[in-house]
Amino acid sequence: MKNNNLSSTKEWLIVAQEDLETAEIIYREKGPSSSLCFHCHQSIEKYLKAYLVSKDIHFPKIHSLWQLAKLCAIKNEKFLSLEEKLKTLDAYYIESRYPPEVFDYSRQECKEILEETQELVKFIINEIKI
């Protein structure tokens, strides 16, 4: 990985981790479920973009996790196996941001969304291999 890519990748990883930590705090403190969903999506979006930067793959300014994963698959087809999980998180992203679709998710749903996000983070970090 080029030095510039390494630096940019690390920057993406930092902001991605901050979103994950924010989601974890929201869950722990029983905060707004829509905010938890938003930060889970943001975290995965930024981790995927970190992967893309690490592999020197240019990407458009998009928020679709599935579209980003398909770009990641240019270098690593394992990302295609994430389709269902990423499309699910994409749906939560929209539902958590724009009325009238804003929903209040149950504690169990929040737990599942957060756990799924944490698993996806582990997968993506493992594939970045800094």
Domains by residue range for the chain, with CATH: 3-128 (1.20.120.330)
Q: What is the pLDDT of residue 105?
A: 86
Instruction: Kindly state the tokens that stand for 68.
Output: 């980003």
Distance CA 55, CA 102 (A): 35
Instruction: Kindly state the tokens that stand for 106.
Output: 């149950």
Q: What is the pLDDT of residue 104?
A: 82
Closest C-alpha among 46, 67, 49 to residue 58: 49
Global model pTM greater than 0.85: yes
Query: For the segment 52-95, what is each residue's pLDDT rounded down to a tens digit?
Result: 999 999 999 999 999 999 999 999 999 999 999 999 999 887 65
Query: For the segment 31-54, what is each residue's pLDDT rounded down to a tens digit?
Result: 999 899 999 999 999 999 999 999
Residue 96 clears pLDDT 90, i.e. is over it: no
